[in-house]
Amino acid sequence: MERVVENLNRALGGLLDRDPSVYLLGEDVVDPYGGAFKATRGLSTRHPDRVLATPISEGALVGVANGLALSGGKAVVEIMFSDFVALAFDQIVNFAAKSVSMYGHTVPMPVVVRCPTGGGRGYGPTHSQSLQKHFIGVPGLSVYEMSPFLDNASLLELAMADGRPAVLFEDKVLYGQRMHQDGVVDELFGYELVDPESGTTVVSLRDDAPCDCVLIAPGGLSARVLAAARELFVQEEICCRIVVPGRLYPFAVEPLLDLLGSAGLVCVVEDSSAGGTWGTEVATLVYRRLWGRLARPVALLSAADSIIPTAAHLEREVLPQAEDIRDLVIEALRA
């Protein structure tokens, strides 16, 4: 099976092949290096005039992408590590997102800012953060996250067709993992795309057992959430379904209302530290639409209030692990 980074590379190449107005910009994205995680390997050889290496200035390279979009082009930007997207915050939030509507009529801004994100690789405090929460709720801006359940060609197509600038988070631990195919995860679990417009997939037990708990998590957490769901089923006979949205914001809650409303527990898991997060946004939407049908309060598990340590054992204490998710579900269902 194809690795996630190979799938992403193929998706980027296909986008460049199909659309001559698309540019790919970033630091060290050209061959022979092909990007820090090799997502752009071979693309500059095929499209030397549209895959361009930039100086080390995140603000400048996103600014160039914005200019391309305003002049009728399209741009995919690679930020080498998502931590450094903070240096482009002004161009994303104060320019790209506002340009969609501030000129008196709708202006498409087909810009996708790719952000390799998250911990799990021992890169330490300045190369391991999950900054999704800082882009939630910005008018005119969409937020996406890669997952092993959704082909990246579809994800990029969604982000480009949105008409709004988008930030695409790509959890670094996913790059070396395999894409799931044909609706099959393993001997216990399968998955289904339930909302093509937001790229939301639902992972379920293949015997379609009644659902005790719905776990909502971004793609980067999918392996940990799946491990927790497997252990809950095997050891506790608790049946979980997992919602993995391609588009984090705006979060598409409508297609999930029946599933969420019939569950004994809804639990949201994220790698961002608590406080003003994507998880709280999702919980608020669920409460607003399902207040009278929820059997229990929505449970939320976030990262600890800490920097991300370099040492693996300390990093595990900060970021939610499978056992943390398992314990949260058991405690909430027994409350």
**Catalytic residue annotation:** 127
b (16+ CB within 10 A) / e for 101-126:
eeeeeeebbbbbbbbbbbbbbebeee
Structural tokens at position 168: 């695409």
Q: Which residues pair with 299 in a beta bridge?
A: 267
Residue 317: closest CA among 332, 303, 331: 303
CA 241, 181, 322, 189 torsion-angle sign? positive
Q: Where are the beta strands (DSSP E) in 83-198?
A: 111-117, 142-145, 166-171, 189-195
Structural tokens at position 319: 């970021």
Please name the residue that has the structure tokens 């790719």. Answer: 114
